[in-house]
Amino acid sequence: MAKYNLRVNGNARTIDSSDADKPLLYVLRELKLTATKFGCGLGQCGACTVLIEGAAVRSCQTRVADVHGKAIITLEGLGSPGNPHPLQTAFISEQVPQCGYCTSGMIMSAAALLSTNKKPSESDIRSALDGNLCRCGTHVRVVRAVMAASGQRG
Amino acid sequence: MNAPVKNLRFSRRAILKGGALAVGFALTELPDAIAQGAVAAPRALDPKEVDSFLAVNGDGTVTVFCGKVDLGQGLRISIPQIAAEELGIGVDKIKFVEGDTALTPDQGRTSGSNGIQRGGMQIRQAAATARKALIDLAAQRLNVRPEDLVITGGEVRPKAGSSGISFANLIGGRQFDLKLDPKAPLMDPSSYTIVGKPLARPDVPAKCFGTHVYMHDLVVPDMLHARVIRPAAVGAKLVSVDESSIKDIAGANVVRVKDLLAVVADDEWSAIRASRALRAQWSEGSGLPAQADLAAALRADPGIVDETLVNKGSADAQQPDGAKALTATYYWPMQSHGSIGPSCAVADVRADAATVWTASQGTHGNQTTFARFLGLPKEKVRLIYLEGSGCYGMNGHEDAAADAAILSRAVGRPVRVQWTREDELGWDPKGPPQLIAISGAVAPDGRILDWLTELWIPKTTRGLPNIPLLAPEAAGLDHVPGLNPGLVSQNGDPSYAAESIQVIAHWLKDAPLRPAPIRSPGKPANCFAVESFVDELAAAIGADPVEFRLRGLKDSRAIEVIRRTAALMNWQARPYRVASANNGIARGRGISFVHYKHSETYVGMGMEVAVDRASGQIAVERVACAHDCGQIINPDGVRAQVEGSILQTISRVLMEEVMFDRARVISVNWTSYPILRFSGVPRIDIELIDRPTEKPLGAGEAACAAVGAALANAVHDATGTRLRTVPFMPERVKAALTGKA
């Protein structure tokens, strides 16, 4: 059984897996990090988005072998009620989620955007999140929250 | 309130004591519903009893037991707001338990946008009855007249100002033993301090920190992960399974119950690998109709019976000079609920009892169904609601629960079933196809002379307890066959005055794929047809669409939503005109109006669109909506629901159609079944009309019904072309624009 060393939300984790192809999504969920959701397993919906070395990546399409030695951040690691990320604060104050199943992926994609673009335009936000699907129709609030999190009025 | 309970650890034995079977939890955070379920004594469940809905706890908090469930639409705050207002206690002192057959009364499915207007009103009456009882109890204790007492902050106190008695002191931990009193006085809306406020939804923070426990996140001890392998074709039978095909996957096993085929494993990834590796042979399916001929096939179907649903006025009046007569046919395709998270459930079925965790909208209604196919007494089957991915009607949640229950019984362990993306889009029960033909005439002065709507829609099977689930049928277990697409025949007639109005339903025996209610069942299609045809009549006499509608209305609430929608759009009266295309982009505006079910919420919907004549691509640029759902409990909750209704239905109108070949559904991923993305989201302006002294009405789906016609009417204004077939995909629009449709 191969061992893979990951840094997950700042903690060193050693993952034993006989299958190098096991998707990161299931590795994370078995670590009880269940914010990251299964949506399609095809890289089409964004529900499983996490940050790998700061970039937004679909964890359902990422092999465990490919994240050996990498730093991974999930929604749980982005912030907490005591120390929330500005996006989490904004998503709460804008009351964004309805069912909330897509929320984790939305916030992670937005976090990647804000790390490279401190003051994105509405159009930048829409482009960055176009691969994240929401069925409840919370899009307007998502855009407003990302604007607010970057210190802009949406 | 509804705060997660930290670090719960129940021993299995302790939990079994309660009578109803429950298993321990491996999760570290659990919603109250489960925590209380695990230790609860048997409760009153009769919806006629106050105790079934409300309990004053020893610490002075109040628990509300709600048979309706929060699917993301905000009942976890709006129901406590209603209860807190009537009781006279802070909303932060209310705990909320939802959708658990062992704990909550049966208030019917959470559907039809009736969570507040039915479920909430039962709870309002329970709370009003309790309030009266609390005052009477305090009057006896204090030896004063009840009318000399008031309730504030969970205390009954003399109006004169001396100290009062807390709810906890009066009845904490004990029962009211009272029937709901339909005459118990309700709080005067002018005194409301909680109802009508945009209070935050309590589940939102946990959803933003990743700690909200979804159905998909539930882990119970000793649980196996399963994947069900659906047949290669609808109606196909399992011929053979090659178990050796998964022998290299450690811990994975095949489970077969007649035609129900699954793999189970200790971990999810092994179950997935096994499901991909498993080789099975299926028979031919039962066959599906040719998709291209579907609309024609519906019209040609002899059906079961023709029923006149509406028959008003008389059609034989002599038509005046200059009257214009029109006919048009509209089509709405089969659509999927399109949940972002494929369905999931966990079940623990033992020889004598079963516990099923499910994201179903109808835990109570399913108790009998599950008991039937499991061969257990109803009271030994407990269904516990856990929030899943938004379902907007009956998606695959209940099927996944049935899968899990049958597999758990087969393997003798708790089983978690997770559907795949392909399962969800392929096998969720579908919104049925709807064909709608309308003929009518209009006088030059704008009077609608006669109107006839014909609907071709599947008929609901009388007395059907539940929509048949896939697993009991595949496993050959006891179930009641039939179909139920929801109330798909409503709003087939316009709200406007006419010399005569007739609606005829040609009830069909079947639907191409298993039907189920999908948000606003039938109404998006019916209102698309009716409100498009109203525009066609207006255009026929060169009338302005807003003025034409107002002419035929007397109901002041209807008139107000139309006027306000027009004002939001800065609507200038003019007949429709074909805009000149600028760089090939034609812009136009459209409006529609719906009085939902002719008895509920009023919606005015305006849209501005840009149509690219070269590609046929439609961009909705702006939406304006005025919405009157009577008394508003939580305005931000209503606003969120209206936003969602608009965007989800724009998606359904512009791009959604279930595609199938002669064997099975082939639109099984987000490429072949696309839905709206950020790039397609318009600016939305919503005006909520609050009427505190009116009854509260549903806000979860009425706006859906108004979307299709507003969009089609705007396209007509822009291009002069009528779109009568949904979805408005670019190729279809292009063909219509060039007269090839």
> Nearest CA to B651 among B721, B708, B586?
B708
Whether the predicted pLDDT of B634 surpasses 60: yes
Axis-axis angle for helices A139-149, B635-655 (nearest 10): 120
Contact B421 A42 (CB under 8 A): yes
Give the pLDDT band of residue B161 (cuts 50, 70, 90).
confident
CA B708 to CA B475: how far, in whole Å?
A: 40
Burial class (CB in 10 A: 0-12, 13-18, 19+), B688: middle
Give the pLDDT band of residue B317 (cuts 50, 70, 90).
low
Backbone dihedral angles phi then psi of residue B282, each to the nearest 5 degrees: -115, 150
Find the Cα–Cα–Cα–Cα dihedral B616, B622, B626, B627, rounded to 10°: 70
Could you report the per-residue pLDDT of B107-135, keeping only the tens digit for each?
999 988 888 999 999 999 999 999 999 99
Q: Is A61 near chain B, with CB under 8 Å?
A: no
CA B257 to CA B279: how far, in whole Å?
A: 16
Show the CA angle centred on residue B629, arms to residues B623 and B630, nearest 5°.
140
From B711's Cα to the closest Cα of chain A, the distance in A is 17
In B243-296 the beta strands, taken as DSSP E runs, fall at: 253-257, 260-265, 279-282
Q: Would you state the structure tokens that stand for residue B409, as one six-digit string?
A: 């019984």
Beta-carbon contacts of B253 under 8 Å, excluding residues fewer than 6 positions away, are: B246, B263, B264, B265, B411
Contact B388 A84 (CB under 8 A): no
Other CB atoms within 10 A of residue B671 CB: 9
Indicate the average pLDDT of chain A.
97
Helix or strand holding residue B328 (H, E): strand B324-332
Per DSSP bridges, beta strands B155-158 and B165-166 are antiparallel
Percentage with pLDDT > 90 across chain B: 90
b vs e for B527-551, b when ≥16 Cβ sit within 10 Å of the residue's Cβ? bbbbbbbbbbbbbbbebbbbbbbbb
Contact A39 B421 (CB under 8 A): yes
Distances (CA, A) of B255 to B68, B153, B222, B400, B697: 34, 56, 17, 15, 47
Contact B340 A47 (CB under 8 A): yes
Beta-carbon contacts of B255 under 8 Å, excluding residues fewer than 6 positions away, are: B226, B261, B262, B263, B264, B407, B410, B411
Return the pLDDT at B36. 38
- The answer to whether residues B11 and B22 touch, using CB atoms and an 8 Å cutoff, is no
Residues of B in contact with A36 (CB under 8 A): 210
Return the pLDDT at A97. 98
The length of chain B in residues reads 741
Sign of the torsion angle spanned by Cα atoms B396, B400, B401, B403? positive
> Nearest CA to A61 among B421, B397, B209?
B421
Contact B269 A45 (CB under 8 A): no
Could you report the per-residue pLDDT of B515-573, keeping only the tens digit for each?
999 999 999 999 999 999 999 999 999 999 999 999 999 999 999 999 999 999 999 99
SS3 for B535? Answer: helix
Could you report the per-residue pLDDT of B474-484, keeping only the tens digit for each?
999 999 999 99
CA B734 to CA B721: how far, in whole Å?
A: 10
Return the pLDDT at A139. 98
Q: Is A92 near chain B, with CB under 8 Å?
A: yes
Per DSSP bridges, beta strands B498-508 and B29-30 are unpaired
- The answer to whether residues B79 and B64 touch, using CB atoms and an 8 Å cutoff, is yes
pLDDT per position in chain A (154 positions), as tens? 899 999 999 999 999 999 999 999 999 999 999 999 999 999 999 999 999 999 999 999 999 999 999 999 999 999 999 999 999 999 999 999 999 999 999 999 999 999 999 999 999 999 999 999 999 999 999 999 999 999 997 5
Cis peptide preceding B727, ω within 30 of 0: yes
Return the pLDDT at A154. 57
Indicate the average pLDDT of chain B.
93
Give the pLDDT band of residue B575 (cuts 50, 70, 90).
confident
CA B170 to CA B239: how far, in whole Å?
A: 66
Q: What ipTM did this prediction achieve? A: 0.99
Residues of B in contact with A74 (CB under 8 A): 210
Question: For B647, which of A74, A95, A139 is closest by C-beta distance?
Answer: A139
Contact B675 A133 (CB under 8 A): yes
Q: Would you state the structure tokens that stand for residue B377, as one six-digit string?
A: 């007494």
Return the pLDDT at B576. 79
Q: Is A43 near chain B, with CB under 8 Å?
A: no
Q: Is A4 near chain B, with CB under 8 Å?
A: no
SS3 for B477? Answer: coil
| Strands across the sheet containing B683-689 | B585-595, B602-612, B618-628, B683-689
Return the pLDDT at B2. 36
Q: How many CB pairs under 8 A join A and B?
A: 172
The reported pTM is: 0.95
| Strands across the sheet containing B415-418 | B253-257, B260-265, B224-229, B415-418, B344-349, B354-358, B381-385
Question: For B208, which of A30, A107, A133 is closest by C-beta distance?
Answer: A107
